[in-house]
Structure 1
């Protein structure tokens, strides 16, 4: 086509501008691209958090064996990780164990499979051991008969609840129920034994088992500095027969027979004896008579006749 096929000036300018624009875009720093990637990442994180929150909310009522039950347990683990006080952690473990018992009761009403019972009972025992171990460690270090009494009451209540549920559970899961109740009985015995050793110098043996510190055995040497030591009541000494401030009793002088006859001569002591004691004459007791009482006669009455007729007289006195 020769020269007639060449592009005109306007077409050449348009092609030149397009090429220049692409070169400029390739040489520009990737600021806008990085900003777009950050926005996409933030949006993805927000979407994941939103979905996670919704999923966690939906898993609140999940039972063992449900698809969302694992997410529920993950949320409980996260709550434990955000709890830093050891006593609060122990309480959360026992709270989760209580929730497992309630879920087992719901499984009996729904007629769930045996595997769901196994999962719930296994998680119950896990939280039970962790809570009891942490709580007994605190009590051993700081004392606290009240904490042990509350734990013993809680264990007895959960054992009673499991006893009501075992009759409706599958036959294959009843042995697992029995094992859980045996563990609760051990918790009650552990709290009793540990409580009896809190006032001793030696509280534990230094070893631990599935429920925490093992109480020591043998004689108890009482520690008066223990916060759980009972101060014995102060007993008053029995009163003596005679007060300490009273004078000691003296022996009365021997009685003697006095001759009432009129002596005719001086008294002489009996031969080979001691003269009788001379009794001192007591001093006469005089009483001062009371002073005479004088009575003052009342003042005479003064009567003034009425100043205005019709009024009574005025009497003074």
Structure 2
């Protein structure tokens, strides 16, 4: 049984690698005995990605779903301390014989299988709906946790460092739009910029590492494009904020400047044929200067 699970996992990991490579991700330069068997599956995966339908969510659906989710969150005690929820459930639990309440092993398994089947059947619809309902949530909103959970799910389904790096930069753009809505809330504004900077560091580190490992300048192009647009948008936050907000914003601008300098330095190092850097920091590999620049 364990050996079958191991083989299945290796096969799934190899399929993810091949699909990433087919979609422009970093090549892994390995061959597997199952590659020929996975060729058709990779082709199908590409076709599904190319023909993915654009989902248009109406305002009425978004509003109704948001209200339903908020009601469910309140009913289930989401956001309340665990002790309070446990106390509520204990208070409403009918007194009965303990042995009568304990389900049999067979019943528990049947219930678990039913829950899994229901989850699989409704998962695709629920994910798109929840994402639509929570996309405008900001820290402090009841649906913000769902928004961040959706982002973590996206990362878990992404295999290559190049793709994960791009996702982190997309999340940094999302944090920026949230920060624009939180100006005047010193704690909330500073907190969301902290998250934005963390996403920026993660994305830049993954992309610069991918660039060095594969001598891939397109990964550095992604960093430069992101930094150019992000600096312009972050600078717009300096206008009407408090002094504390402006000081915090300047730190994010400084990080973006560091990211651009790192990308340019790596581009020059790759261009002049320097060996891969041995050291790294929060922005990825730290290159040496080309001989002509010393």
TM > 0.5 fold call:
yes
Q: How many Å separate the matches in 1 of 2:219 and 2:109? A: 52
Give the direction of change, closer, same or farther, for the CA distance of 1:147–1:84 in structure 2 (3 Å limit): closer
Helix, strand or coil for the counterpart of 1:201?
Answer: coil
Asked if the contact 1:202/1:220 (under 8 Å) is kept, the reply is: no
CA RMSD of aligned residues (A): 2.9
Give the direction of change, closer, same or farther, for the CA distance of 1:145–1:42 in structure 2 (3 Å limit): closer
Residues 274-313 of structure 1 correspond to what in structure 2 (within 5 A)? none
Please report the TM-score for the alignment, with normalisation by the length of structure 1.
0.52
Asked if the contact 2:227/2:260 (under 8 Å) is kept, the reply is: yes
Tell me what 2:108 maps to. 37
Asked if the contact 2:186/2:244 (under 8 Å) is kept, the reply is: yes
Tell me what 2:32 maps to. none
Give the direction of change, closer, same or farther, for the CA distance of 1:213–1:40 in structure 2 (3 Å limit): same
Q: How many Å separate the matches in 2 of 1:176 and 1:41? A: 48
Please report the TM-score for the alignment, with normalisation by the length of structure 2.
0.55
Tell me what 1:179 maps to. 251
Asked if the contact 1:197/1:216 (under 8 Å) is kept, the reply is: yes
Tell me what 1:156 maps to. 228
Greater helix share, structure number? 2
- Out of 190, 207, 220, the position equivalent to 1:135 is 207
Tell me what 2:39 maps to. none
Q: How many Å separate the matches in 2 of 1:48 and 1:84? A: 24
Asked if the contact 1:201/1:220 (under 8 Å) is kept, the reply is: no
Q: CA deviation at 1:182?
A: 0.2
Q: CA deviation at 1:43?
A: 5.0
Tell me what 2:219 maps to. 147
Deviates more, 1:177-186 or 1:51-60: 51-60
Residues 177-256 of structure 1 correspond to what in structure 2 (within 5 A)? 177-217=249-289, 219=291
The number of residue pairs the alignment matches comes to: 187
Helix, strand or coil for the counterpart of 2:286?
Answer: strand
- Out of 91, 105, 110, the position equivalent to 2:180 is 105
Larger RCO (CA under 8 A, 6+ residues apart): 2
Asked if the contact 2:213/2:276 (under 8 Å) is kept, the reply is: no
Q: How many Å separate the matches in 2 of 1:146 and 1:56? A: 30
Tell me what 2:149 maps to. 74
Q: How many Å separate the matches in 1 of 2:142 and 2:159? A: 30
